[in-house]
Amino acid sequence: CGKSSVQKIRIVGGQPSDLGAWPWLAVLGYRSNRNPTTQWLCGGALVTSRHIVTAAHCTRHPSLSLFKVRLGELDLDNNVNDGANPIDVNIERTIVHPSYNPQKYTDDIAVLKLQNEVPFSRNIQPICLPTTSELREMSLTKKFPFVAGWGSVQFKGPSLTALQEVQVPVVENEECRRAYKAKGADIISRQLCAGFALGGKDACQGDSGGPLMLPHAGSYYLIGVVSYGFRCAEAGFPGIYSRVTSYLSWIEQNLK
């Protein structure tokens, strides 16, 4: 797991992704009774050949139902010749964390079970879960994980058709708590913050539900799930993620 076919050097600001850079990245498809056209409104990460980890808020939409995921995609515009051969897979079961609080966005994590197993290829691979004691106990502060996506924030739809990526610094929860206090939001230990104090290009690139990805010892690990705070990188407001190490036992119970 966690192997990318594209070597990364430090990214400053956002940039378009290369095919195969993030082979576990999923984009979530929704439809309504009135309009059968698929709308791509959230991200997720493939963790086994049949399971995606995403945000709980991505599974609940007032007028659309989540029904499928797309893997191996680069540009959502079908007219762009990007070399990708994406596959769409229907969702068999949606498992939302039992403590999810839609008002506070806490425990904002869900597992999607796919109808069938996905064949792995250069452009479709699972990301690793941070299950080792080293990764569970590692301090993430000052680490620079990656976030990638199409900019589908809070069901606004993609801001770009081409996949974008960026590196963001992890911020201490205490610092994050101070930033969000004025907004009346509390940051709990099961959340993780990442972004630049000055705002800028950091998080328009992420998708709601998409992965925060840490390179470690040659593989990428899923350390966060995009939850909220992404008003395109407002200064002083880092993005808020569900902290995956807090949910490992729950995730693993639901990968059966």
Dihedral sign for Cα 8, 12, 14, 15, please: negative
- Say if residues 153 and 232 touch (Cβ distance below 8 Å): yes
Burial of 102 (0-12, 13-18, 19+ CB in 10 A): exposed
Token pair listed for 213: 């990805």
Of 4, 17, 51, 57, the catalytic one is 57
> Where do we find the tokens 């994590």?
109
Is residue 57 annotated as a catalytic residue, yes or no? yes
Of 82, 107, 108, 202, the catalytic one is 108
- Helix or strand holding residue 214 (H, E): strand 211-216
Is residue 108 annotated as a catalytic residue, yes or no? yes
- Please give the DSSP secondary-structure letter assigned to residue 59: G
Q: Residue 208: CB partners within 8 Å, gap ≥ 6?
A: 41, 42, 43, 55, 57, 58, 152, 153, 154, 155, 226, 227, 228, 230
Distance of CA 96 to the CA centre of its chain: 15
Cα–Cα distances (Å) from 117 to 17, 29, 68, 170, 234, in that order, read 26, 18, 13, 33, 39
Of 17, 152, 208, 242, the catalytic one is 208
Strand 87-96 relative to strand 65-71, pairing: antiparallel
- Please give the DSSP secondary-structure letter assigned to residue 223: E
| Active site residues per annotation | 57, 108, 208
